[in-house]
Amino acid sequence: MRYFNNPEAMIKLIAAMQDGFANTLAIFFLTLLFSIPLGMVVALLRMSRRRMISVPVSLYILVMRGTPLMLQIFAIYFAIPMLLGQNLDRMAATILAFSLNYAAYFAEIFRGGMMSIPVGQHEACQVLGFTKIQAFFHVVLPQVCKRVLLPVSNEVITLVKDTSLANIIAVSELFRAAKNEASRTASVEPLFVAGLFYLAMNGVVTLVFSYLTRRFDYYKD
Amino acid sequence: MLQAINVKKSFGETGVLKGVSMRVSRGEVVAIIGRSGSGKSTLLRCMNNLETIDSGEIRIGGEPLVTTGADGKPVYKRDRELRTLMLKMGMVFQDYNLFPHCSVLRNLVMPQTLVLRRSAEEAKSKALSLLEKVGLLEKANEYPCNLSGGQCQRVAIARALCMDPDILCFDEPTSALDPQLTHEVLSVIRALADEKRTMIVVTHEMNFARDVADRVIYMENGLIVEDGPARDVLGSSRSEAIRAFAGEANY
Ligand SMILES: Nc1ncnc2c1ncn2[C@@H]1O[C@H](COP(=O)(O)OP(=O)(O)OP(=O)(O)O)[C@@H](O)[C@H]1O
Ligand SMILES: [Mg+2]
Protein backbone atom coordinates (compact mmCIF):
# COMPACT_ATOMS: atom_id res chain seq x y z
CA MET A 1 0.00 0.00 0.00
CA ARG A 2 1.21 3.40 -0.93
CA TYR A 3 -1.56 5.78 0.11
CA PHE A 4 -4.09 4.22 2.42
CA ASN A 5 -1.50 3.73 5.19
CA ASN A 6 0.30 7.00 4.56
CA PRO A 7 -1.65 10.16 5.39
CA GLU A 8 0.98 12.46 3.93
CA ALA A 9 0.97 10.72 0.56
CA MET A 10 -2.81 10.61 0.65
CA ILE A 11 -3.03 14.36 1.14
CA LYS A 12 -0.69 14.88 -1.81
CA LEU A 13 -2.78 12.52 -3.93
CA ILE A 14 -5.96 14.33 -3.07
CA ALA A 15 -4.33 17.65 -3.87
CA ALA A 16 -3.30 16.26 -7.25
CA MET A 17 -6.89 15.13 -7.93
CA GLN A 18 -8.46 18.35 -6.71
CA ASP A 19 -8.84 20.01 -10.12
CA GLY A 20 -10.32 16.84 -11.53
CA PHE A 21 -12.86 16.79 -8.75
CA ALA A 22 -13.74 20.44 -9.41
CA ASN A 23 -14.37 19.61 -13.08
CA THR A 24 -16.52 16.64 -12.12
CA LEU A 25 -18.61 18.90 -9.91
CA ALA A 26 -18.89 21.43 -12.74
CA ILE A 27 -20.11 18.78 -15.19
CA PHE A 28 -22.55 17.51 -12.60
CA PHE A 29 -24.12 20.83 -11.62
CA LEU A 30 -24.17 22.38 -15.09
CA THR A 31 -25.78 19.26 -16.54
CA LEU A 32 -28.52 19.40 -13.91
CA LEU A 33 -28.97 23.12 -14.44
CA PHE A 34 -29.56 22.69 -18.17
CA SER A 35 -31.13 19.24 -18.44
CA ILE A 36 -33.94 19.65 -15.91
CA PRO A 37 -35.62 22.67 -17.54
CA LEU A 38 -34.84 21.30 -20.98
CA GLY A 39 -36.33 17.97 -19.96
CA MET A 40 -39.53 19.74 -18.89
CA VAL A 41 -39.76 21.49 -22.26
CA VAL A 42 -39.07 18.23 -24.12
CA ALA A 43 -41.77 16.48 -22.06
CA LEU A 44 -44.34 19.15 -22.94
CA LEU A 45 -43.41 19.01 -26.64
CA ARG A 46 -43.56 15.22 -26.55
CA MET A 47 -47.11 15.48 -25.21
CA SER A 48 -48.17 17.91 -27.93
CA ARG A 49 -51.21 16.83 -29.89
CA ARG A 50 -49.53 18.01 -33.07
CA ARG A 51 -47.69 15.11 -34.64
CA MET A 52 -45.41 17.58 -36.40
CA ILE A 53 -44.01 18.28 -32.95
CA SER A 54 -44.47 15.07 -30.99
CA VAL A 55 -43.00 12.72 -33.61
CA PRO A 56 -39.63 14.48 -34.02
CA VAL A 57 -39.40 14.86 -30.26
CA SER A 58 -40.05 11.14 -29.76
CA LEU A 59 -37.29 10.49 -32.24
CA TYR A 60 -34.93 12.72 -30.29
CA ILE A 61 -35.74 10.83 -27.09
CA LEU A 62 -35.24 7.49 -28.84
CA VAL A 63 -31.82 8.47 -30.14
CA MET A 64 -30.67 9.97 -26.85
CA ARG A 65 -31.76 7.00 -24.79
CA GLY A 66 -31.00 4.43 -27.47
CA THR A 67 -27.33 5.13 -28.12
CA PRO A 68 -24.36 5.17 -25.73
CA LEU A 69 -23.70 8.46 -24.00
CA MET A 70 -20.03 7.86 -24.76
CA LEU A 71 -20.81 7.88 -28.47
CA GLN A 72 -22.88 11.05 -28.09
CA ILE A 73 -19.98 12.81 -26.39
CA PHE A 74 -17.68 11.82 -29.26
CA ALA A 75 -20.27 12.81 -31.84
CA ILE A 76 -20.77 16.26 -30.39
CA TYR A 77 -17.10 16.90 -29.80
CA PHE A 78 -16.08 15.91 -33.33
CA ALA A 79 -19.19 16.69 -35.37
CA ILE A 80 -19.85 20.23 -34.23
CA PRO A 81 -16.46 21.56 -35.41
CA MET A 82 -17.13 19.94 -38.79
CA LEU A 83 -20.57 21.54 -39.04
CA LEU A 84 -19.70 24.96 -37.69
CA GLY A 85 -16.07 25.08 -38.72
CA GLN A 86 -15.23 26.12 -35.21
CA ASN A 87 -13.64 24.15 -32.41
CA LEU A 88 -15.68 23.38 -29.37
CA ASP A 89 -14.17 23.50 -25.92
CA ARG A 90 -13.91 19.97 -24.44
CA MET A 91 -15.81 20.97 -21.36
CA ALA A 92 -18.53 22.70 -23.38
CA ALA A 93 -18.94 19.64 -25.60
CA THR A 94 -19.21 17.43 -22.53
CA ILE A 95 -21.86 19.56 -20.89
CA LEU A 96 -23.82 19.87 -24.12
CA ALA A 97 -23.80 16.10 -24.64
CA PHE A 98 -24.72 15.36 -21.02
CA SER A 99 -27.49 17.95 -20.99
CA LEU A 100 -29.06 16.67 -24.20
CA ASN A 101 -28.81 13.09 -23.00
CA TYR A 102 -30.16 13.63 -19.49
CA ALA A 103 -32.91 15.93 -20.77
CA ALA A 104 -34.30 12.94 -22.68
CA TYR A 105 -34.41 10.80 -19.53
CA PHE A 106 -35.85 13.59 -17.41
CA ALA A 107 -38.42 14.32 -20.12
CA GLU A 108 -39.80 10.80 -19.91
CA ILE A 109 -39.89 10.95 -16.12
CA PHE A 110 -41.71 14.29 -16.20
CA ARG A 111 -44.09 13.04 -18.87
CA GLY A 112 -44.96 10.05 -16.70
CA GLY A 113 -45.48 12.40 -13.77
CA MET A 114 -47.76 14.70 -15.74
CA MET A 115 -49.80 11.84 -17.13
CA SER A 116 -50.32 10.54 -13.60
CA ILE A 117 -52.10 13.74 -12.55
CA PRO A 118 -55.85 12.97 -12.65
CA VAL A 119 -57.85 14.68 -15.43
CA GLY A 120 -60.07 16.03 -12.68
CA GLN A 121 -57.31 18.42 -11.69
CA HIS A 122 -57.25 19.91 -15.18
CA GLU A 123 -61.02 20.05 -15.28
CA ALA A 124 -61.17 21.81 -11.91
CA CYS A 125 -58.69 24.39 -13.22
CA GLN A 126 -60.72 24.86 -16.35
CA VAL A 127 -64.06 25.41 -14.63
CA LEU A 128 -62.40 27.83 -12.21
CA GLY A 129 -61.17 29.84 -15.18
CA PHE A 130 -57.43 29.20 -14.96
CA THR A 131 -55.43 29.72 -18.12
CA LYS A 132 -53.43 26.69 -19.30
CA ILE A 133 -50.27 28.35 -18.04
CA GLN A 134 -51.70 29.10 -14.61
CA ALA A 135 -52.95 25.52 -14.34
CA PHE A 136 -49.51 24.21 -15.25
CA PHE A 137 -47.50 26.30 -12.81
CA HIS A 138 -49.90 26.40 -9.88
CA VAL A 139 -51.55 23.00 -10.00
CA VAL A 140 -49.77 20.49 -12.24
CA LEU A 141 -46.10 21.28 -11.69
CA PRO A 142 -46.14 21.28 -7.86
CA GLN A 143 -47.82 17.88 -7.85
CA VAL A 144 -45.52 16.50 -10.54
CA CYS A 145 -42.48 17.52 -8.47
CA LYS A 146 -43.58 15.32 -5.61
CA ARG A 147 -44.37 12.39 -7.87
CA VAL A 148 -41.09 12.41 -9.82
CA LEU A 149 -38.73 12.83 -6.89
CA LEU A 150 -37.81 9.16 -6.65
CA PRO A 151 -37.12 8.48 -10.35
CA VAL A 152 -35.26 11.80 -10.62
CA SER A 153 -33.03 10.83 -7.70
CA ASN A 154 -32.12 7.66 -9.60
CA GLU A 155 -31.03 9.68 -12.60
CA VAL A 156 -29.05 12.13 -10.51
CA ILE A 157 -27.16 9.29 -8.84
CA THR A 158 -26.38 7.81 -12.24
CA LEU A 159 -25.21 11.21 -13.43
CA VAL A 160 -22.63 11.42 -10.64
CA LYS A 161 -20.99 8.26 -11.97
CA ASP A 162 -21.53 9.07 -15.65
CA THR A 163 -19.42 12.23 -15.35
CA SER A 164 -16.42 9.87 -15.61
CA LEU A 165 -17.33 9.32 -19.28
CA ALA A 166 -16.01 12.81 -20.06
CA ASN A 167 -12.50 11.41 -19.80
CA ILE A 168 -12.84 9.84 -23.27
CA ILE A 169 -12.42 13.28 -24.85
CA ALA A 170 -9.65 14.07 -22.38
CA VAL A 171 -11.57 16.32 -20.05
CA SER A 172 -9.53 16.29 -16.87
CA GLU A 173 -12.26 15.19 -14.52
CA LEU A 174 -11.94 13.12 -11.37
CA PHE A 175 -11.59 9.72 -12.99
CA ARG A 176 -8.98 10.89 -15.46
CA ALA A 177 -7.01 12.55 -12.70
CA ALA A 178 -7.11 9.32 -10.71
CA LYS A 179 -6.02 7.29 -13.74
CA ASN A 180 -3.09 9.61 -14.32
CA GLU A 181 -1.95 9.30 -10.74
CA ALA A 182 -2.43 5.55 -10.90
CA SER A 183 -0.19 5.12 -13.92
CA ARG A 184 2.35 7.67 -12.72
CA THR A 185 2.83 5.84 -9.43
CA ALA A 186 2.03 2.34 -10.68
CA SER A 187 -0.67 1.88 -8.05
CA VAL A 188 -4.38 1.17 -8.31
CA GLU A 189 -5.10 3.00 -5.07
CA PRO A 190 -5.90 6.40 -6.68
CA LEU A 191 -8.76 4.71 -8.54
CA PHE A 192 -10.20 3.56 -5.23
CA VAL A 193 -9.79 7.04 -3.83
CA ALA A 194 -11.79 8.34 -6.81
CA GLY A 195 -14.40 5.68 -6.05
CA LEU A 196 -14.73 7.04 -2.53
CA PHE A 197 -15.26 10.52 -3.94
CA TYR A 198 -18.15 9.33 -6.14
CA LEU A 199 -19.59 7.47 -3.20
CA ALA A 200 -19.40 10.55 -0.98
CA MET A 201 -21.05 12.69 -3.64
CA ASN A 202 -23.87 10.21 -3.91
CA GLY A 203 -24.16 10.17 -0.14
CA VAL A 204 -24.83 13.90 -0.31
CA VAL A 205 -27.26 13.45 -3.21
CA THR A 206 -29.14 10.85 -1.18
CA LEU A 207 -29.37 13.20 1.79
CA VAL A 208 -30.63 16.04 -0.36
CA PHE A 209 -33.35 13.86 -1.86
CA SER A 210 -34.47 12.49 1.46
CA TYR A 211 -34.74 16.08 2.68
CA LEU A 212 -36.83 16.97 -0.38
CA THR A 213 -39.02 13.92 0.12
CA ARG A 214 -39.72 15.06 3.67
CA ARG A 215 -40.45 18.56 2.43
CA PHE A 216 -43.14 17.14 0.14
CA ASP A 217 -44.59 14.92 2.83
CA TYR A 218 -47.01 17.59 4.02
CA TYR A 219 -49.76 16.12 1.84
CA LYS A 220 -50.69 12.73 0.45
CA ASP A 221 -52.46 12.11 -2.80
CA MET B 1 -80.19 32.33 -17.62
CA LEU B 2 -79.07 29.11 -19.28
CA GLN B 3 -80.39 27.63 -22.44
CA ALA B 4 -79.54 24.55 -24.45
CA ILE B 5 -81.11 24.11 -27.87
CA ASN B 6 -81.13 20.80 -29.69
CA VAL B 7 -77.72 19.79 -28.35
CA LYS B 8 -76.24 16.67 -29.91
CA LYS B 9 -73.13 14.88 -28.84
CA SER B 10 -71.71 11.49 -29.62
CA PHE B 11 -68.59 9.65 -28.59
CA GLY B 12 -67.49 7.90 -31.75
CA GLU B 13 -70.46 5.95 -33.04
CA THR B 14 -72.64 6.10 -29.96
CA GLY B 15 -74.96 9.08 -29.65
CA VAL B 16 -75.01 10.23 -26.06
CA LEU B 17 -77.09 13.40 -26.41
CA LYS B 18 -79.61 13.13 -29.22
CA GLY B 19 -81.06 16.62 -29.35
CA VAL B 20 -81.48 18.00 -25.87
CA SER B 21 -83.21 21.32 -25.24
CA MET B 22 -83.68 22.85 -21.84
CA ARG B 23 -83.62 26.15 -20.06
CA VAL B 24 -82.96 27.29 -16.56
CA SER B 25 -84.23 30.60 -15.23
CA ARG B 26 -82.71 32.77 -12.57
CA GLY B 27 -83.15 31.46 -9.04
CA GLU B 28 -84.34 28.08 -10.21
CA VAL B 29 -83.07 24.76 -8.87
CA VAL B 30 -83.20 22.05 -11.50
CA ALA B 31 -82.57 18.41 -10.73
CA ILE B 32 -81.55 16.07 -13.53
CA ILE B 33 -82.33 12.42 -12.91
CA GLY B 34 -82.19 9.30 -15.02
CA ARG B 35 -80.60 5.92 -15.37
CA SER B 36 -76.88 5.42 -15.49
CA GLY B 37 -75.64 6.12 -19.00
CA SER B 38 -78.59 8.29 -19.97
CA GLY B 39 -76.29 11.26 -20.63
CA LYS B 40 -76.80 13.41 -17.51
CA SER B 41 -73.12 14.01 -16.84
CA THR B 42 -72.41 14.57 -20.52
CA LEU B 43 -75.11 17.24 -20.69
CA LEU B 44 -73.75 19.00 -17.61
CA ARG B 45 -70.20 18.77 -18.93
CA CYS B 46 -71.24 20.23 -22.28
CA MET B 47 -72.81 23.18 -20.51
CA ASN B 48 -69.57 23.69 -18.59
CA ASN B 49 -67.49 23.43 -21.74
CA LEU B 50 -65.77 20.28 -20.52
CA GLU B 51 -67.03 18.49 -23.64
CA THR B 52 -67.52 19.99 -27.07
CA ILE B 53 -70.87 19.41 -28.72
CA ASP B 54 -71.45 18.17 -32.26
CA SER B 55 -74.32 20.52 -33.03
CA GLY B 56 -76.85 22.74 -31.33
CA GLU B 57 -76.60 25.85 -29.25
CA ILE B 58 -75.82 26.73 -25.65
CA ARG B 59 -76.42 30.19 -24.21
CA ILE B 60 -75.32 31.40 -20.82
CA GLY B 61 -77.02 34.54 -19.58
CA GLY B 62 -78.15 35.23 -23.14
CA GLU B 63 -74.63 35.05 -24.50
CA PRO B 64 -73.81 32.19 -26.84
CA LEU B 65 -71.17 29.74 -25.63
CA VAL B 66 -71.64 27.82 -28.85
CA THR B 67 -73.85 28.24 -31.88
CA THR B 68 -74.17 26.29 -35.07
CA GLY B 69 -72.47 27.88 -38.05
CA ALA B 70 -73.70 27.96 -41.63
CA ASP B 71 -71.88 24.69 -42.39
CA GLY B 72 -73.68 22.92 -39.53
CA LYS B 73 -70.53 22.77 -37.41
CA PRO B 74 -70.55 24.20 -33.91
CA VAL B 75 -68.84 27.57 -33.43
CA TYR B 76 -67.43 28.21 -29.98
CA LYS B 77 -66.44 31.46 -28.35
CA ARG B 78 -62.70 31.71 -28.10
CA ASP B 79 -59.88 32.25 -25.64
CA ARG B 80 -60.45 35.19 -23.32
CA GLU B 81 -64.07 35.79 -24.14
CA LEU B 82 -64.73 32.11 -23.62
CA ARG B 83 -63.04 32.09 -20.24
CA THR B 84 -64.89 35.21 -19.14
CA LEU B 85 -68.20 33.69 -20.16
CA MET B 86 -67.47 30.41 -18.41
CA LEU B 87 -66.87 32.27 -15.15
CA LYS B 88 -70.64 32.56 -14.96
CA MET B 89 -70.73 28.79 -14.48
CA GLY B 90 -69.51 26.95 -11.42
CA MET B 91 -69.07 23.20 -11.19
CA VAL B 92 -68.83 20.74 -8.33
CA PHE B 93 -67.59 17.30 -9.25
CA GLN B 94 -68.46 13.90 -7.87
CA ASP B 95 -64.90 13.35 -6.67
CA TYR B 96 -64.31 16.95 -5.49
CA ASN B 97 -61.09 17.58 -7.46
CA LEU B 98 -59.61 19.73 -4.73
CA PHE B 99 -55.97 20.66 -5.17
CA PRO B 100 -54.19 18.19 -2.86
CA HIS B 101 -51.02 20.25 -2.55
CA CYS B 102 -52.91 23.29 -1.25
CA SER B 103 -54.47 23.84 2.14
CA VAL B 104 -58.22 24.28 2.27
CA LEU B 105 -57.79 28.03 2.51
CA ARG B 106 -55.35 28.11 -0.38
CA ASN B 107 -57.77 26.03 -2.48
CA LEU B 108 -60.26 28.87 -2.08
CA VAL B 109 -57.86 31.80 -2.32
CA MET B 110 -55.75 30.77 -5.31
CA PRO B 111 -58.52 30.81 -7.95
CA GLN B 112 -59.66 34.22 -6.76
CA THR B 113 -56.23 35.83 -6.89
CA LEU B 114 -55.17 34.17 -10.14
CA VAL B 115 -58.38 34.39 -12.12
CA LEU B 116 -60.35 37.27 -10.64
CA ARG B 117 -57.22 39.24 -9.66
CA ARG B 118 -58.58 39.86 -6.20
CA SER B 119 -56.14 41.05 -3.57
CA ALA B 120 -54.87 38.46 -1.10
CA GLU B 121 -56.82 40.01 1.78
CA GLU B 122 -60.04 40.27 -0.14
CA ALA B 123 -59.73 36.69 -1.36
CA LYS B 124 -58.94 35.46 2.13
CA SER B 125 -61.89 37.13 3.78
CA LYS B 126 -64.20 35.84 1.06
CA ALA B 127 -62.76 32.35 1.53
CA LEU B 128 -63.18 32.43 5.29
CA SER B 129 -66.75 33.64 5.12
CA LEU B 130 -67.62 30.84 2.70
CA LEU B 131 -65.85 28.26 4.84
CA GLU B 132 -67.95 29.44 7.73
CA LYS B 133 -71.05 29.04 5.62
CA VAL B 134 -70.25 25.39 4.85
CA GLY B 135 -69.28 24.86 8.49
CA LEU B 136 -65.57 24.25 7.97
CA LEU B 137 -63.91 27.36 9.30
CA GLU B 138 -61.78 25.35 11.70
CA LYS B 139 -60.40 23.27 8.80
CA ALA B 140 -58.98 26.27 6.91
CA ASN B 141 -55.38 25.18 7.41
CA GLU B 142 -55.89 21.47 6.90
CA TYR B 143 -54.96 19.66 3.69
CA PRO B 144 -57.66 17.86 1.69
CA CYS B 145 -56.06 14.47 2.43
CA ASN B 146 -56.95 14.95 6.11
CA LEU B 147 -60.64 15.63 5.49
CA SER B 148 -63.58 13.27 5.15
CA GLY B 149 -65.34 12.98 1.81
CA GLY B 150 -68.22 15.10 3.01
CA GLN B 151 -65.87 17.80 4.21
CA CYS B 152 -63.98 17.72 0.91
CA GLN B 153 -67.21 18.14 -0.99
CA ARG B 154 -68.22 21.10 1.17
CA VAL B 155 -64.82 22.69 0.53
CA ALA B 156 -65.35 22.11 -3.19
CA ILE B 157 -68.71 23.85 -2.97
CA ALA B 158 -67.13 26.77 -1.12
CA ARG B 159 -64.39 26.94 -3.74
CA ALA B 160 -66.95 27.12 -6.54
CA LEU B 161 -68.85 29.83 -4.65
CA CYS B 162 -65.69 31.92 -4.25
CA MET B 163 -65.85 32.69 -7.94
CA ASP B 164 -69.39 34.12 -7.65
CA PRO B 165 -70.88 32.03 -10.44
CA ASP B 166 -74.38 32.82 -11.69
CA ILE B 167 -75.17 29.15 -12.08
CA LEU B 168 -73.78 26.36 -9.96
CA CYS B 169 -73.73 22.83 -11.34
CA PHE B 170 -73.34 19.63 -9.36
CA ASP B 171 -72.61 16.24 -10.89
CA GLU B 172 -73.73 13.63 -8.38
CA PRO B 173 -72.13 15.51 -5.50
CA THR B 174 -72.96 12.81 -2.98
CA SER B 175 -72.60 9.52 -4.79
CA ALA B 176 -69.09 8.96 -3.40
CA LEU B 177 -70.37 9.48 0.15
CA ASP B 178 -72.05 7.34 2.77
CA PRO B 179 -75.53 8.40 4.02
CA GLN B 180 -74.28 10.41 6.99
CA LEU B 181 -71.89 12.49 4.87
CA THR B 182 -74.46 12.73 2.09
CA HIS B 183 -76.75 14.45 4.55
CA GLU B 184 -74.23 17.14 5.48
CA VAL B 185 -73.51 17.95 1.83
CA LEU B 186 -77.17 18.00 0.85
CA SER B 187 -78.02 20.38 3.65
CA VAL B 188 -75.40 22.80 2.33
CA ILE B 189 -76.98 22.60 -1.11
CA ARG B 190 -80.41 23.01 0.43
CA ALA B 191 -79.22 26.19 2.17
CA LEU B 192 -78.01 27.52 -1.18
CA ALA B 193 -81.41 26.78 -2.68
CA ASP B 194 -83.03 28.79 0.11
CA GLU B 195 -80.89 31.74 -0.98
CA LYS B 196 -82.43 31.43 -4.43
CA ARG B 197 -79.21 30.46 -6.14
CA THR B 198 -79.53 29.11 -9.64
CA MET B 199 -78.43 25.49 -9.56
CA ILE B 200 -78.44 22.39 -11.70
CA VAL B 201 -78.01 19.17 -9.75
CA VAL B 202 -77.50 15.77 -11.30
CA THR B 203 -78.53 13.38 -8.56
CA HIS B 204 -79.75 9.94 -7.66
CA GLU B 205 -81.28 11.24 -4.42
CA MET B 206 -84.97 11.21 -5.22
CA ASN B 207 -86.06 12.69 -1.91
CA PHE B 208 -83.62 15.52 -2.32
CA ALA B 209 -84.83 16.18 -5.87
CA ARG B 210 -88.44 16.26 -4.76
CA ASP B 211 -87.84 18.48 -1.74
CA VAL B 212 -85.31 20.95 -3.06
CA ALA B 213 -85.69 21.17 -6.82
CA ASP B 214 -88.17 23.51 -8.44
CA ARG B 215 -87.99 21.50 -11.59
CA VAL B 216 -87.03 17.95 -12.38
CA ILE B 217 -85.71 16.75 -15.70
CA TYR B 218 -85.79 13.05 -16.42
CA MET B 219 -83.43 11.76 -19.07
CA GLU B 220 -83.45 8.50 -20.93
CA ASN B 221 -81.15 7.42 -23.72
CA GLY B 222 -79.77 10.86 -24.46
CA LEU B 223 -83.14 12.57 -24.53
CA ILE B 224 -85.17 14.58 -22.06
CA VAL B 225 -88.30 12.56 -21.50
CA GLU B 226 -89.91 14.55 -18.71
CA ASP B 227 -89.37 18.17 -17.72
CA GLY B 228 -91.64 19.88 -15.23
CA PRO B 229 -92.26 21.02 -11.68
CA ALA B 230 -90.88 18.57 -9.15
CA ARG B 231 -94.29 17.70 -7.73
CA ASP B 232 -95.60 16.80 -11.18
CA VAL B 233 -92.63 14.76 -12.36
CA LEU B 234 -92.12 12.93 -9.09
CA GLY B 235 -95.56 13.33 -7.56
CA SER B 236 -98.51 10.97 -7.55
CA SER B 237 -99.42 11.69 -11.17
CA ARG B 238 -96.00 10.70 -12.40
CA SER B 239 -95.63 8.96 -15.70
CA GLU B 240 -95.01 5.28 -16.30
CA ALA B 241 -91.34 5.84 -17.21
CA ILE B 242 -90.59 7.74 -14.02
CA ARG B 243 -92.56 5.27 -11.94
CA ALA B 244 -90.39 2.43 -13.20
CA PHE B 245 -87.21 4.42 -12.71
CA ALA B 246 -88.09 5.71 -9.27
CA GLY B 247 -89.15 2.22 -8.25
CA GLU B 248 -85.64 0.97 -8.95
CA ALA B 249 -83.92 3.92 -7.33
CA ASN B 250 -84.02 3.97 -3.55
CA TYR B 251 -87.21 5.88 -3.29
N1 LIG C 1 -65.37 10.21 -22.70
C2 LIG C 1 -66.23 9.29 -23.15
N3 LIG C 1 -65.90 8.49 -24.18
C4 LIG C 1 -66.76 7.58 -24.66
N5 LIG C 1 -67.98 7.36 -24.15
C6 LIG C 1 -68.38 8.12 -23.12
C7 LIG C 1 -67.52 9.13 -22.57
N8 LIG C 1 -68.19 9.72 -21.56
C9 LIG C 1 -69.41 9.13 -21.50
N10 LIG C 1 -69.52 8.17 -22.42
C11 LIG C 1 -70.72 7.33 -22.66
O12 LIG C 1 -71.81 8.19 -22.78
C13 LIG C 1 -72.94 7.64 -22.16
C14 LIG C 1 -73.55 8.63 -21.20
O15 LIG C 1 -72.63 8.87 -20.16
P16 LIG C 1 -72.92 9.86 -18.97
O17 LIG C 1 -71.72 9.84 -18.11
O18 LIG C 1 -73.34 11.17 -19.50
O19 LIG C 1 -74.13 9.17 -18.25
P20 LIG C 1 -74.79 9.51 -16.86
O21 LIG C 1 -76.22 9.69 -17.14
O22 LIG C 1 -74.07 10.61 -16.20
O23 LIG C 1 -74.59 8.17 -16.05
P24 LIG C 1 -74.22 7.96 -14.50
O25 LIG C 1 -75.51 8.04 -13.77
O26 LIG C 1 -73.66 6.59 -14.47
O27 LIG C 1 -73.24 9.02 -14.11
C28 LIG C 1 -72.50 6.35 -21.50
O29 LIG C 1 -72.93 5.27 -22.32
C30 LIG C 1 -71.01 6.43 -21.50
O31 LIG C 1 -70.46 5.15 -21.67
MG1 LIG D 1 -72.77 10.78 -14.49
What are the pLDDT digits (tens) for A62-117?
999 999 999 999 999 998 888 888 888 999 999 999 999 999 999 999 999 999 99
Structural domain boundaries of chain B? 26-43+85-246
- pLDDT tens for B233-244 read 887 666 777 777
Centroid of ligand 1 to alpha carbon of B12 (angstroms): 12
Determine if ligand 1 sits within 6 Å of the CB of residue B39: yes
Determine if ligand 1 sits within 6 Å of the CB of residue B16: yes
pTM above 0.95, yes or no: no
- pLDDT tens for B190-221 read 999 999 999 999 998 888 888 889 999 999 99
The predicted model gives B170-177 an average pLDDT of 91
- pLDDT tens for A16-67 read 999 999 999 999 999 999 999 999 999 999 999 999 999 999 999 999 999 9
Specify the fold of A7-218: MetI-like fold (1.10.3720)
Q: Do B50 and A138 touch (CB under 8 A)?
A: no
Instruction: Please state, for a pLDDT cut of 70, what percent of chain B lies above it.
Output: 97
A131 chain-B contacts, CB cut-off 8 A: 83
Residues 6+ apart with CB under 8 A from B222: B15, B16, B17, B18, B20, B38, B39
Q: Whose CA is nearest to atom 4 of ligand 1?
A: B11
Q: Assess B90–A contact: CB distance below 8 Å, yes or no.
A: yes
Specify the fold of B26-43+85-246: Rossmann fold (3.40.50)
Which chain B residues in 158-197 lie under 8 Å from chain A, judged by CB atoms?
159-160, 163
Centroid of ligand 2 to alpha carbon of B45 (angstroms): 9
Split at pLDDT 50, 70, 90, the class of B248 is low
Instruction: Give pLDDT, residue B148.
Output: 93
Instruction: Give pLDDT, residue B251.
Output: 46
- pLDDT tens for B54-107 read 999 999 998 999 988 888 888 898 888 899 999 999 999 999 999 999 999 999
Mutate to test the interface with B, among A128, A136, A143, A146 (most CBs of B within 10 A): A128
Instruction: Give pLDDT, residue B71.
Output: 85
The pick from B18, B33, B38, B219 for probing ligand 1's pocket by mutation, whose C-beta has the most ligand atoms within 8 angstroms, reads B38
Centroid of ligand 1 to alpha carbon of B38 (angstroms): 7
- Strands B2-11, B215-220: pairing is unpaired
DSSP-assigned letters across all residues of chain A: --STT-HHHHHHHHHHHHHHHHHHHHHHHHHHHHHHHHHHHHHHHHT-S-HHHHHHHHHHHHHHHHS-HHHHHHHHHHHHHHHHSS---HHHHHHHHHHHHHHHHHHHHHHHHHHTS-HHHHHHHHHHT--HHHHIIIIIHHHHHHHHHHHHHHHHHHHHHHGGGGGGGT---HHHHHHHHHHHHT-SHHHHHHHHHHHHHHHHHHHHHHHHHHHGGG---
